[in-house]
Structure 1
Amino acid sequence: SFVDNPPEDSKIVREEPFGPIVPLLKWSDEADVIKRANDTNMGLAASVWGKDLEAVERIAKQIEAGVVCMNERNPVTPFSSFGGHKESGIGVENGISGLLSYSNIQTFTLKKQVNFA
């Protein structure tokens, strides 16, 4: 479902909607859309869509989210890390970062020659 130009302070704009729903918002320039996209406490995932691939990539690199998809929906693979930024998510899954989140790092040191005189 699409919601055409909802109010800026509406729940669908301010919070992460978990469901098949997308708010369609109008914007004036790239700086405006980046500011508005990042003006939230959430940052799990985002997507940037457009015909100008250079602009899509330029905008995507400035979005504060754990996953930013460009002209596609979330193509999660076992090799790509997935985790939220800000108040989103509960850690990292998949990829090297996901595996490391299940590890307990422990460091051991040993000096082989010691004078205990």
Structure 2
Amino acid sequence: MIAPTIINRPPDNSHIVVEEPFGPIVPLMSWDDEAEVIERANNSSMGLGASIWTADLDRAARVARQIQAGTVWTNDHFSLSPTALFGGHKESGIGAEWGLNGLKAFCNIQTLFLKKSV
């Protein structure tokens, strides 16, 4: 068992940064330049989720739109809603769950045309 842990400024190529840890552990990466942080965030074969922590919500939205991840949170991490689609990009999975589109992924949709007369 591992206690919830924040790894402060690990190297960009470390396992905690480029892989998905699936535990109560997260890397804390600081940044100033938007182009640089987007490149760093996308420099992974994974893309399940990311979080941006900032008081500047316009900047957060601008950066979030460019991050290659299924979900990007702002000033939060891993809040989920059954009405919102949840899934990953890249090697983090194909397909998604939750939300209307997630529900459709588990359905075999059939269209019927019933003509009233012959």
TM-score interval, smaller chain: 0.7 to 0.9
Task: Output the amino acid matched with 2:104.
Answer: L
Instruction: Pick the structure with greater CA Rg.
Output: 1
Q: Which runs of 5+ in 2 are unaligned?
A: none
Count, aligned residues: 114
SS at match of 2:101: helix
Once the two structures are superposed, what CA deviation does each residue of 1:58-95 show, in whole Å capped at 9, x if it has no partner? Answer: 11111111111111122211100101111113421111
Tell me which of 39, 59, 63 is aligned to 2:63: 59
Distance in 2 (CA, whole Å) between partners of 1:24 and 1:78 is: 27
Q: Tell me, in whole angstroms, the C-alpha distance in 1 between the residues paired with 2:27 and 2:81.
A: 26
Query: Which aligned pairs between 1:17-28 and structure 2 lie closer than 5 A?
Result: 17-28=21-32
SS in 1 for 2:37: helix
Match of 1:36 among 33, 40, 44: 40
Gaps of 5+ in 1: 112-117
Contact in 1 for aligned 2:12/2:40 (Cα 8 Å) = no
TM-score by length of 2: 0.84
Report the RMSD for the aligned CA atoms in angstroms: 2.1
**1:78 maps to 2:82:** yes
